[in-house]
Structure 1
């Protein structure tokens, strides 16, 4: 999926129509860039250059401004995420309790690095600063499901839940 052979299918006409409708319905287009990008990422799952160009055109702003925002904020991604995005909290409490070892085990099991997606498109791996669940440290998110007090030994069983 990282080399996305079917990007044109993923970037469907329907998706562009939905995004266009969202932007057209905005009462004030000035200052709407973040909202438009959030909606675009909800629709497409990521923000490739074609989507950034579309947003720039619809908001009548330079593509460079759109790219600047997309590349600055860590929430936005220009790379397709896996079907099951995995995020390992690397905040202080999680790190002190072994999050680095948990992250290393995910990298080993999935054979990918942070920021990458598995070849089958099932999993992507990210490290986060803090998820605000320090009492459960170390914390792993798979999609929106929270796993607390995760050890490296639990990584295989977590991944099996999504096979």
Structure 2
């Protein structure tokens, strides 16, 4: 099966072009990390490559390497910022694999022992709440 073409109008492409707002917590030459607007836990962050790729099936090695390095950096900061007991990392590929937005992204989710992930309701979180989470995470990144 051939992977469908990359859609340049997906929401993450628009965020990367500055056409849509996002609560950015980290950026380097190859990646950006933003708060998930429908978080499954406090501090749920998405790591996205700046270069176009639909998912794991078509991403260049240097881009996925950069994404995972940033995911590790975010995870370490989340442990401090959210007093997490652990981290869940998720990445979905194609509709059958659970992917909804077709630009590669990795979910980095701080977890507390015995606390289940919130259900994915499709409802956006309060912007001030997300802004506060972003501030906590940026502060932890500065001291890491």
Higher RCO (Cα < 8 Å, 6 or more apart): 2
Classify the TM-score, shorter chain: under 0.3
TM-score (norm 2): 0.27
TM-score (norm 1): 0.25
Comparing both structures, which one devotes a greater share of its residues to strand? 2
Comparing both structures, which one devotes a greater share of its residues to helix? 1
